[in-house]
Amino acid sequence: MKLSASLLLAFAPVLFPQPTPKADNCAPPPGSVPPSLPARLLDGQGPIDFKITTSSPEAQKFFNQGVAQMHSFWAREAERSFLQAAALDPAAPMPQWGIAMVAAGDYRPGFQLDLVNGADPNAKPRTEPPNGAEARAVAAAKRAVELAAVPGKATP
């Protein structure tokens, strides 16, 4: 009897396969292509007022919307809002920071910072350069650092 039960348990996955779970629509996988512009200012995104150094009040609105969307784990729309803010004020570093935070498809600050500066001591050396969404995150993070280094451009 024990042998029968053991065999049944051992072969259960083969005899009774489980259906493959559907993709999580709340956190879609990152795409290799950035979201399209123009973005729209949407109602109900949350009362965010994160002041940045920008010459464009409209860029400030899109940046605030992107922060709200990022913290609601709405990465794709957050990237669209940050891209719109960056298009409205290309010299502002913070929209680039926002793009770097969400372009890889979710909100993983440690992961994205480690990609840029190699701070993870357990990281294995890359064999290939990043591509797609990961490459967008790395490029945006580098651009944010470059823009922030310009005197008077970074938000104190």
For 108, the token pair is 């993983």
Q: Dump pLDDT digits (tens) for 30-78.
A: 666 778 889 999 999 888 999 998 999 999 999 999 999 998 888 889 9
Higher pLDDT, 124 or 44: 44
Q: Which two tokens stand for residue 106?
A: 């979710």
Structure tokens at 113: 């910072």
Residue 22 is predicted with a pLDDT of: 55
Q: Between these two residues, 1 and 99, which has the higher pLDDT value? A: 99
Least confident of 61-70, 74-83, 103-112, 144-153: 103-112
* Distance of alpha carbon 57 from alpha carbon 107, whole angstroms: 26
Domains, the chain, ranges and CATH? Answer: 53-119+131-151 (1.25.40)
Q: Note the pLDDT tens digit of each residue in 80-101.
A: 999 999 999 999 999 999 998 8
- Written in H, E and C, the secondary structure of the chain is CHHHHHHHHHHHHHHCCCCCCCCCCCCCCCCCCCCCCCCCCCCCCCCCCCCCCCCCHHHHHHHHHHHHHHHCCCHHHHHHHHHHHHHHCCCCHHHHHHHHHHCCCCCCHHHHHHHHHCCCCCCCCCCCCCCHHHHHHHHHHHHHHHHHCCCCCCCC
Instruction: Provide the pLDDT confidence category of residue 9 given band limits of 50, 70 and 90.
Output: low
- Determine the pLDDT at residue 156: 46
pLDDT band at 10 (very low <50, low <70, confident <90, very high): low
Is pLDDT larger for residue 128 or for residue 80? 80
Return the pLDDT at 67: 95
| pTM summary value | 0.64
